[in-house]
């Protein structure tokens, strides 16, 4: 399995997602990816903590209308998790493949927007806690 296949598999791995939520520093990032067979240099992992990426996208009114039963908070939480996972995975993949930081940030932001929206929808559709 090549690195792209490994990274794609991580995006749907619930165990990885739960572990990702506990990451606190670059060493945690390196160790987490290593458990799944992806070697991440500590320098690249440190870059993830140097600036906090933000989304400039807004949810549409139609997105909010699709949320029923008080799931709006859960939808936003899942959206934030989706943003983090999408950004981190794409950034790490891009940097390991040799992209510059700027290019990796652009690709990661693009991916994060997609995964944030998917997280929002998943949170909205998940039965109450």
Give how far Cα 23 sits from Cα of 5, 11, 28, 69, Å: 22, 16, 5, 31
- Nearest by Cα to 14 from 93, 114, 119: 119
pTM of the model: 0.71
Q: What is the pLDDT of residues 50-99, one digit of tens each?
A: 865 555 555 555 555 554 544 677 777 778 888 888 898 899 999 999 99
Structural domain that includes position 48: 3-125
Using the structure block, give the residue that is written with the tokens 């936003």: 76
- Nearest by Cα to 47 from 62, 31, 72, 26: 26
Number of domains present in the structure of the chain: 1
Distance between start and end Cα atoms, the chain: 36
């Amino acid at each position: 399995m090549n690195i792209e296949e490994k990274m794609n598999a991580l995006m749907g791995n619930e165990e990885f997602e739960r572990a990702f939520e506990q990451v606190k520093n670059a060493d945690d990032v390196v160790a987490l990816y290593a458990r799944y067979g992806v070697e991440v240099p500590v320098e690249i992992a440190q870059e993830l903590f140097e600036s906090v990426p933000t989304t400039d996208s807004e949810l549409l009114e139609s997105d909010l209308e699709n949320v029923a039963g008080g799931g709006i908070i859960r939808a936003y939480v899942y959206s934030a998790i989706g943003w983090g996972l999408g950004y981190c995975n794409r950034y790490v993949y891009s940097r390991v493949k040799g992209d510059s930081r700027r290019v990796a940030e652009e690709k990661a932001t693009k991916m994060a927007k997609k995964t944030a929206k998917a997280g929002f929808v998943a949170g909205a559709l998940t039965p109450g806690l």
